[in-house]
Each structure stands twice: as C-alpha cells, then as structure tokens.
Amino acid sequence: MRFHTFGDGNKKIMVLIHGVLTPWQIWLEHAKCFEKDYLVVVPALDGHVEEEASEYISVEDEANKIIDYVINAYGKEVDVLCGLSMGGAVAYKVFESGKLTINNLVVDGAPLSPLGKLPVWFMTKNYMNIIHKTKVRDQKTLDNFKKYFLPEEYLPSFLKFADTMTDETIKNMLSSVFSTNISKTPVENDTKILFMHGTKGNEVVSKKAARKMKEVYPQTVIKCFDGYAHAELSIYHVKEWIDTVKRFIIV
C-alpha cells in the first residue's frame, strides 16, 4: 500500500479509498477540491500500487494498514472517511474497528451485503479475464473498460498495476469484499453516515446494504441516484459527488 497526501498537515483529515481495478488517481479532482480545508489522504490499496507488485490479502488487512498509517502520522481522529465500492467495505471496517474517531463516514456503492459462492465465482472469473486480456493489451477489452468502467485519462495508471496484479489478489479481493457484512451490534459513537448508491445493475447489493446500515445506525442518510450505475457518481459525475458530500459534512 502507498499513501498520497494533499493539503496542509495541520488541517482536519479526510481519507478517500478507491475501489476494485480503479487507480487512486480517480480521487485527484476530489482531493484538489477538499485540500483547501483538509489534509486529504488517498491510499493506493494493495494490488493497485503502480510502483511495485503488491498482494491484496483482505478487506480487514487493508483497513488495518490505513488505521496504523493514520494513527502513526496524524493521531486517532479522521473528520471524513470516504470509500468507493470495495473502498467502502474497507472504510466500513476502519469505522467498525473503533480504533479511530470517525466524525463522518461516506460510502458510495459499498457492497456490505454478502453474496453467494456462485455469483462471486462468476465475478472473479470476469475480473481475471479483464486483467489477463489487459496484460496482452487486447483492444476490445481496453475500449470496453474505458467506455463502461474508467475514464480514458486514468487508463495509463490502471495499466501499470494491472500488469502486476495476480489471480490470487483478484480471488482475495472478491471473496473478502463479498463476505463483508454490517455487524448487528453497532459501534457506539456519534459518527454521521452517508450511504450513496445508484439503481443500475449490481447496485441492488448496495441498496440492500444501505437499508441494513440504516437499521443498525438510524442516523444514516441514504442518497439514491436514479439511473446511475455502480461507481458512476464518484467517477463520472465528480462535481455532483463533491456537492453531495459537502452538503452532508457541513450540516
């Protein structure tokens, strides 16, 4: 894992955590907006590090590395913790640990509702196929990736870590993410929670998780973005994402 920071170290801390097969750079525009008021910390999760090969072990392992880094560098308080997709699962585990004081938890499309073995198997095979074809620069795969998953400007960063991503990392990511569940026993704190999700495709998993979060943590605010696919809001509609988060954290 690598950590990238933006802003003044004497300001409040904001942490932005990316999702599966997305580079940390998807947060660049968000970080530049918030760095006026925050020290923004953006980890590159294991398996997604451009500078060197790294293995993703589990959601819990990633969460613990972020916790250790924040405590050692800045102390125990994080004003805003944001996670996208898999990053939402990691953010939830950071929150659930109780090791940090989280004032605001923001998750977007977080799959915090377990899936069965068969759909996880299919998704794992699909992600492996994407990475295998990416490594040989299959043009159709890259064109589809740019069209449906990641803006072209971030493709060079994706290619760098895709070239070193292993099948084991993909297995670990999918099995760990889709076994993450919201504990029925709530963490006792005053954290404000924002759960955002779309309505297309596999966002049904996020919608289910949002309802569960609301049951366990009644203070949760759910924002549904009709017609948006998974991760579309934060990646393709950055200003709308930023405005939504700003309105939430200043209340």
Predicted local distance difference test score (pLDDT) of residue 251: 62
Report the chain's terminal Cα–Cα distance, integer Å: 33
Three-state secondary-structure class, residue 172: helix
3-state secondary structure of 142: helix
Q: Specify the pLDDT at position 69.
A: 98
The pLDDT, as a whole number, for residue 138 is 95
What does the pLDDT read at residue 187?
84
pLDDT tens digits for range 192-217? 999 999 999 888 999 999 999 999 99
Give the side-chain half-sphere CA count within 13 A for 170.
21
- State the pLDDT at residue 10: 79
In sequence order, which residues have a C-beta less than 8 Å from that of residue 176 and are 6 or more positions away?
Answer: 57, 58, 59, 60, 89
Closest CA to 20 of 141, 158, 223: 158
3-state secondary structure of 81: strand
Give the pLDDT confidence of 110-140 residue by residue, as tens digits. 999 888 899 999 999 999 999 999 999 999 9
> At CB < 8 A and 24+ separation, what contacts does 156-163 make?
157/23, 157/24, 157/25, 157/50, 158/21, 158/22, 158/23, 158/134, 159/134, 160/50, 161/23, 161/44, 161/47, 161/48, 161/49, 161/50, 162/21, 162/131, 162/134, 162/135, 163/134, 163/135
What is the C-alpha separation between 42 and 178, in angstroms, rounded?
23
What local confidence, expressed as pLDDT, does residue 148 receive?
84
Instruction: Report, as ranges of residue numbers, the positions in the chain whose pLDDT lies below 50.
Output: none
Tokens representing 12?
């409040």
